[in-house]
Amino acid sequence: MKVKKQYLEVLFLALRDTTLSLSQARVRDLALRKVQPELDAFYNDRRKIYETFAKKDADGNPDIKQNLFTFEKEEAEKMGPELEALNAEEVELDIKFPDVVKTIVENTEYKPKTGESELIDEVLKLIV
């Protein structure tokens, strides 16, 4: 199953945040083991982009305030296409028992943030 990187986090959260029977939990855990390394790589790549375009302190390190990177407007505009390209990259997930995974995602207890339900719908279309 090919998934855009922008869908990895919501897929992970939808799988993780639910109560399941033992058999469904086994399938969920198999799926999470496929998603987790790809999600970690996505986070690392995104952080590198943030670090590249962030304001720098006197020592040349990214300026981080309250756990958030700070950006000049021009740099944020340059960063946008880089993030869009990263989000659009696809990864191949070898998901076993896709019908069970789809049922889990459809019945998740995860409470999507604004706009995430659309992402979940896109993920559901990919699970076949």
Q: DSSP letters along 114-128, please?
A: TTHHHHHHHHHHH--
| Tens digits of pLDDT across the chain (128 residues) | 889 999 999 999 999 998 999 999 999 999 999 999 999 999 999 999 999 999 999 999 999 999 999 999 999 999 999 999 999 999 999 999 999 999 999 999 999 999 999 999 999 998 87
Structural domain count, the chain:
1
Beta strands in 31-116 (DSSP E): 64-65, 68-69, 90-92
Spatial distance between the Cα atoms of 65 and 70, rounded to a whole number of angstroms:
7
| Per-residue model confidence (pLDDT) at position 128 | 76
The label of the residue with tokens 């375009």 reads 53
Q: Which domain holds residue 33?
A: 2-126
| Per-residue model confidence (pLDDT) at position 127 | 86
